[in-house]
Amino acid sequence: MSLQYSQAGSQPKYPATNLALQNFDATYSLQLGEQWPSVRVSMLCEQKYGALVNNFSTTEGVIADLQSQGCRDFVCQPVGVGALERLHAPGFPLHDNPSTLESVGVIQDLAPPRLRTNIKCFVFPGGDISRFKPSRPDLYGMLGYYLMDAASILPALALDVQEGHSVLDVCAAPGGKTLALLQTQAIRFLCVNDISVSRTYRLQRVLNSYVPKELLTEERMRITSFDGRKWGEIERDTFDRVLVDVPCTTDRHSVMEDENNIFKRARTKERQRLPQLQTELLLAGIEAVRPGGQVLYSTCSLSQLQNEYVVERAMHLAREEHGISLQVVDLRPITRLFKDTFHFAPDPHLGQLVLPHLTANFGPIYMCKLQRLS
């Protein structure tokens, strides 16, 4: 069916948001089953945000102001007193269904995550859709917090950055996850990249508003606009941690906004090529990480084709074509830790998925962590 226009000649009869919803109804109703109606309603409702506190600003007044509004730091106050202690307690059951992981060749990692709790992200209570006020600069011009989907903090937490690490963010723009990584204040050297020059300029502006100039020097950070798929050729076996937050169907945006919507008919081929692009980007990240290092793959899509299948394909290609063996790091402890803040998909095949829910309308965010074996 050809694209038809109204008499006004400005609005398509079948807007991209409608096409996206039709596509999701056909695929996600099968993938998610009885959960899809709830997720569908949530994605069509107003999204919740979190306020990522900028540790490079004067934070005392910022935190006090957020707390006075009834917000809580979900990282440091996850599920009540003793949550972190329970997470690290001996005998904590990390795997509900080990056979599922073993069936895809996963080697279980029994080490609990070591969260960088100097990442602070405040959220309103469940069911509260209050909006945050715009952040204001301090006396030095640094903004106090960055507003983003709070679930987008999870990949930065799961990456487990440690003191002195070198980190690569392959698809960094618009910059929220990069800022979250910087809040750890543990990174020795950070390389941030995005293939789009315009998006890289936007990323640079974000960093200038939140990070002191002395931390943006070439000795501490490099900002590039390379094709991320080529990173294995540029710097192989180099980084301790690599974040691969790939372009995807951005499901929530696709059902809410016609502007820059990948479900426009003119972008059909681009959308169909996404899994191949995502696989190539993840494979490049795998090549760029040093043996023993870790890669975190993430999307803001519910699609198994863009999530689990991409991870499985990249692991296969890494092994067969590059001789690189990987293990999947179990992120289930993190989902248990933050289960009162986010609604996680039950029994995922591989990785973890945050589902939008009316009482916790964050996401979708998919993440899967890989460790490169020596």
Is 176 one of the annotated binding-site residues?
yes
Catalytic residue among 121, 191, 300, 368: 300
* 323-338 CB burial, b ≥16 within 10 A, e <16: ebebbbbbbbbbbbbb
Nearest to 352 by CA among 370, 365, 361: 365
Is 275 one of the annotated binding-site residues?
no
Is 340 one of the annotated binding-site residues?
no
Is 318 one of the annotated binding-site residues?
no
Could you give the CA distance from residue 53 to residue 148 in angstroms, rounded to a whole number? Answer: 11
Nearest to 134 by CA among 125, 145, 148, 150: 145
Could you give the CA distance from residue 223 to residue 215 in angstroms, rounded to a whole number? Answer: 12
Span between the terminal Cα atoms of the chain, in Å: 53
Is 93 one of the annotated binding-site residues?
no
What does DSSP assign to residue 9?
S
How remote is the C-alpha of 74 from its chain's centroid? 16
Active-site residue, 121 included: no
- 365 by DSSP, 3-state: which? strand
- 92 by DSSP, 3-state: which? coil
Is 173 one of the annotated binding-site residues?
yes
Could you give the CA distance from residue 118 to residue 73 in angstroms, rounded to a whole number? Answer: 11
Residue 270: phi, psi to the nearest 5? -60, -40
Is 330 one of the annotated binding-site residues?
no
Is 91 one of the annotated binding-site residues?
no
Is 177 one of the annotated binding-site residues?
yes
Decide if 286 contacts 354 (C-beta within 8 A).
no
Strand pairing category for 352-354 and 365-372: antiparallel
Decide if 203 contacts 257 (C-beta within 8 A).
no
Is 227 one of the annotated binding-site residues?
yes
In the annotated binding site, the residues are 171-177, 194, 227, 245
Active site residues: 300
In the annotated binding site for S-adenosyl-L-methionine, the residues are 171-177, 194, 227, 245
